[in-house]
Amino acid sequence: MVWRRRIWRCAEPGCPVRSWTEVHELAEPRAALTRRAIVWATDALAADDTTVSALARRVGVSWHTPWRPVAREAARRAGDPSRLDAVQVLGVDEHVWRPGRWGGRDATCMVDLTRGADGLLRARLLDLVPGRSGTVYRTWLEEQADAFRAGVRRAALDPFRGYANALRDALPDAAPVLDPFHVVKLLDEVRRRVQQDTLGHRGHKSDPLYRIRNLLRHGAEHLTGRQVARLDAALAAGDPDWQVTPSPGSAISSSARSTTLGPRATARRSPPRSSPRSPAVRSPRWPGSAGRCGPGAAS
CB 264 within 8 A of CB 234: no
Q: What pLDDT, on a 0 to 100 scale, did the predictor assign at position 47?
A: 79
pLDDT in tens, 111-122: 999 988 888 887
Average pLDDT, the chain: 79
pLDDT in tens, 190-223: 999 998 888 888 888 889 999 998 888 887 778 8
Domain regions of the chain by residue span: 23-70, 86-178, 181-298
CA distance from start to end of the chain: 48
**Spatial CA neighbour of 293 closest among 250, 263, 264, 236:** 250
Distance CA(123)–CA(143), nearest Å, equals 22
DSSP 8-state secondary structure symbol assigned to residue 288: T
When computed from its CA atoms, the radius of gyration of the chain, rounded to whole angstroms, is 28
Centroid of chain to Cα 147:
22
Q: What pLDDT, on a 0 to 100 scale, did the predictor assign at position 221?
A: 78
pLDDT band at 103 (very low <50, low <70, confident <90, very high): low
Q: Is the pLDDT of residue 134 over 90?
A: yes
Range in 48-52, 113-117, 173-177, 265-269 with the lowest mean pLDDT: 265-269
Q: Looking at this protein, which amino acid is placed at residue 154?
A: R
Q: What pLDDT, on a 0 to 100 scale, did the predictor assign at position 222?
A: 84
86-178 has CATH 3.30.420.10 classification: yes
Q: What pLDDT, on a 0 to 100 scale, did the predictor assign at position 260?
A: 33
Q: Count the neighbouring beta carbons within 10 Å of the beta carbon of residue 158.
A: 15
Distance CA(232)–CA(286), nearest Å, equals 7
Q: Above pLDDT 90, what percent of the chain?
A: 30
**Spatial CA neighbour of 21 closest among 13, 29, 32:** 29
Sign of the CA dihedral running 200, 232, 183, 215: positive
Tell me the three state secondary structure of residue 244.
Answer: coil
Q: Is the pLDDT of residue 22 over 50?
A: yes
DSSP 8-state secondary structure symbol assigned to residue 115: B
- DSSP annotation string for 72-103: HHHHHHHT-GGGGTT--EEEEEEEESS--SSS
pLDDT band at 102 (very low <50, low <70, confident <90, very high): low
CB 268 within 8 A of CB 238: no
Q: What pLDDT, on a 0 to 100 scale, did the predictor assign at position 275?
A: 39
DSSP 8-state secondary structure symbol assigned to residue 259: I
